[in-house]
Amino acid sequence: MEAWLPLECSRCLDTFEQTLVAEIGDLFVYPPEKADDPLLAIPETGILDLNPLFRETFVLAIPLQPICQSECKGLCPVCGGNRNVTPCEHQEDNIDPRLEPLRNLLSKS
């Protein structure tokens, strides 16, 4: 099953459409008395409501931190502008000298 869901990027806060793909492989049982799980039993009426199953499957497929694109640069921490749209020319803040070794580790990568 596929569904399209409007989400908000957790980095730049832009809205985008995410395609959710869910595979459902549940086996339903009839008559209902033979079912181990009552949710997987086909009722005597023969009408099977799949909405709860689809909803649960798609809710679990939604990413916790949706990202519009893998190269998303996010928001500028100084002015709040979207770095994907306009580059910011802010000067870097002075870093605490105790954290300078961490900056050196990042610059080596």
Percent of the chain with pLDDT over 70: 96
For 19-30, how does the pLDDT look when each residue is reduced to its tens digit (9 = 90+)?
A: 998 888 888 888
What was the pLDDT predicted at 50? 85
Higher-scoring residue by pLDDT: 88, 17: 17
**How crowded is residue 78: how many other Cβ atoms within 10 Å of its Cβ?**
12
Q: Is residue 45 pLDDT above 90, yes or no?
A: no
**Residues recorded for the chain:** 109
Higher-scoring residue by pLDDT: 67, 78: 67
Per the DSSP assignment, residues forming a β-bridge with 19 are: 4
> Model pTM?
0.63
For 58-71, how does the pLDDT look when each residue is reduced to its tens digit (9 = 90+)?
A: 999 999 999 999 99
The CA distance from 57 to 54, in Å, is 5
What was the pLDDT predicted at 75? 93
Domain range annotation of the chain = 1-72, 76-109
